[in-house]
């Protein structure tokens, strides 16, 4: 049906090679990478190390479809800052992330990073919108050259005041008008705060979304709290979603390995349900 991935920040203190081994043994197809788990800056992951990481993933039959938590580090990055120097630095770093993603065999940049995109008064939403358009438009040629798609992740108002709905994310992508370079992704936790919830948002946007994060409204992974992921995946199937399904839990209780095993078992059971 869809390839299944797990986000790696649960194991941020473990070598990525070990994470690939665990993901393989648990039955995942991929590992989605938070760049800050590899180094403080993507620029610090040198070419030889990138080749080592890509080789280790391939040796374990694991793919790295996407990067996420893009602006967590290094410090001083911000998508909508009124400071032009900060925006230039952020655009430069996006170039580095594009290269890291492509060098690891990925094709998606998931841009969440709520704190590094929120705006403050006296700035307005339109001010933030215009500045973000400036930054992302500037990296479109590099995105296209490396065959990577930057995907806007709509997040709840609890996390950020900039782009809270899938509709806004789509409007942002359409304003740039380069669908092979700039698109949207969907996140179950975030959609739970949107009008219509995950079901209606998947129905409307699932066919054009490039990537799907699965988690519960309170941040647990599938199977770690009461939530019907068969219904979520059924809605994704009806919509014609064709990307990766990637688990992004925020609660690692009781421990990362147990969380990851529970997630893959839950997702595979959900897939079997909708295929029956």
Q: Tens of pLDDT along 171-209?
A: 999 999 999 999 999 999 999 999 999 999 999 999 999
pLDDT at residue number 276: 75
Q: Could you give the 3-state DSSP secondary structure of residue 227?
A: coil
For residue 150, what are the domain limits?
Answer: 4-275
List the CATH number of the domain containing 73: 3.20.20.150
pLDDT, averaged per 10 consecutive residues of the chain (276 residues), comes to: 96 97 98 98 98 98 98 96 98 98 98 98 98 98 98 97 98 98 98 97 98 98 97 97 98 98 98 90
Q: Give backbone dihedrals phi and psi of 92, rounded to 5 degrees, phi first.
A: -60, -40
Strands 66-67 and 108-111: parallel
Q: What is the pTM for the complete model shown?
A: 0.97
Please report the pLDDT score of residue 1 as a whole number.
84
User: Residues with Cβ < 8 Å from 96, sequence gap 6 or more?
Assistant: 41, 42, 43
159-164 contacts, C-beta under 8 A, 24 or more apart: 159/114, 159/190, 160/114, 160/115, 160/117, 160/118, 161/118, 161/119, 161/125, 162/79, 162/80, 162/117, 162/118, 162/119, 162/125, 162/128, 162/129, 162/132, 163/117, 164/193, 164/194
What is the structure's pLDDT at 252?
Answer: 97
Tokens of 219: 């941040």
Per the DSSP assignment, residues forming a β-bridge with 111 are: 152
**Residue range 77-105, pLDDT digits in tens:** 999 999 999 999 999 999 999 999 999 99
**How confident is the model at residue 268, as a pLDDT?**
98
Q: Would you state the pLDDT for residue 159?
A: 97
Radius of gyration of the chain (CA): 18
pLDDT of 121 = 95
For residue 271, what pLDDT is reported? 96
Sign of the Cα torsion 227, 231, 233, 239 reads negative
| Structural domains counted in the chain | 1
Three-state DSSP class for 151?
Answer: strand
The token pair at 139 is 């990296």
- What residue has token string 């009124």? 82
Q: CB atoms < 10 A from the CB of 161, how many?
A: 16
Q: What percent of the chain has pLDDT over 70?
A: 100
């Amino acid at each position: 049906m869809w390839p299944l991935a797990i986000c790696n920040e649960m194991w941020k203190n473990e070598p990525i090679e070990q994470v690939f081994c665990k993901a393989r043994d648990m039955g995942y197809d991929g590992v989605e990478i938070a760049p800050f788990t590899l180094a403080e800056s993507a620029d610090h992951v040198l070419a030889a190390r990138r080749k080592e990481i890509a080789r280790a993933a391939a040796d374990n039959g694991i793919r790295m479809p996407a990067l996420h938590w893009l602006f967590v580090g290094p410090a001083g990055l911000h998508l909508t800052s009124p400071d032009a120097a900060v925006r230039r630095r952020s655009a430069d770093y996006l170039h580095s992330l594009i290269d890291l993603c492509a060098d690891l065999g990925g094709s998606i940049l998931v841009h969440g990073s709520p704190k590094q995109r929120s705006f403050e008064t006296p700035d307005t939403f339109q001010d933030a919108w215009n500045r973000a358009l400036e930054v992302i438009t500037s990296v479109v040629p590099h995105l296209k050259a490396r065959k990577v798609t930057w995907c806007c992740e709509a997040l709840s108002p609890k996390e950020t005041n900039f782009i809270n709905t899938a509709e806004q994310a789509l409007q942002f992508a359409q304003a740039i008008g380069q669908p092979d370079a700039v698109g949207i992704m969907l996140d179950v936790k975030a959609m739970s705060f949107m009008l219509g919830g995950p079901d209606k948002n998947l129905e409307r946007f699932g066919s054009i979304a490039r990537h799907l994060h699965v988690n519960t409204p309170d941040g647990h992974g599938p199977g770690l709290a009461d939530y019907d992921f068969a219904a979520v995946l059924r809605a994704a199937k009806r919509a014609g979603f064709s990307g990766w399904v990637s688990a992004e839990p925020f609660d690692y209780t009781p421990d990362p390995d147990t969380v990851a095993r529970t997630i893959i078992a839950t997702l595979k059971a959900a897939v079997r349900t909708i295929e029956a």
